[in-house]
Amino acid sequence: MSDSNTSPGPLDRADARWDSLAAASAQPVIVLERVARAAGRTNWFACRTAAEYDGIAPGFLPGSKVSVYFDGRLSFHRYDDSVRAEILRIARRDHDCVVAVLGAAHPRLEVEFIAGASELDEFEQTLGDLSEVCFGAYPGDENDGTNALTWTVPDPDGVVRAHPH
């Protein structure tokens, strides 16, 4: 269900669907902020608790389109040869694959868009001792399904306006 362009959204988990959707997911909740007027910039987070989400929500920028994924479409897995193969399969199908690791500023994710084997080889060199990666197809913002929420953050005057993302 997409609330974008019609509602200020659940900025403080006010949306009643949050708790039931989060409880049903074995994976962290993935949050994607598509920053308005920022040439395609995105911010990604993996929230394991509602308190982590509550900590990032006030930082969402006005006009940004925020999507919260409760269904594992982007999920964490121990990095191995089968994960590598799946990342490359998604990249072949969709022209790239979202691949991320937890950043130094938890719950922020450090995201790469992997388009092929050579980029994945380079990414592997950065993993070091990290053994878990989050990956999946880049999610569209207009077809959330039943296990995601998308909304547009109101501008400072409280009005929700469409912005380029």
Q: What does the pLDDT read at residue 18?
A: 67
pLDDT single digits (tens) 140-151: 877 677 788 888
User: What integer is the mean pLDDT of 74-96?
Assistant: 96
List pLDDT tens digits, range 47-61.
988 888 889 999 999
Contact residues for 90 (Cβ-Cβ < 8 A; gap 6+)? 97, 135, 136, 137
Of the pLDDT bands very low, low, confident and very high (cuts 50, 70, 90), residue 7 is very low
pLDDT band at residue 76 under the 50/70/90 scheme:
very high
Q: Residue 164's pLDDT is what?
A: 65
- Name the pTM for this structure: 0.84
* Domain edges within the chain: 1-74+141-157, 76-101+112-138
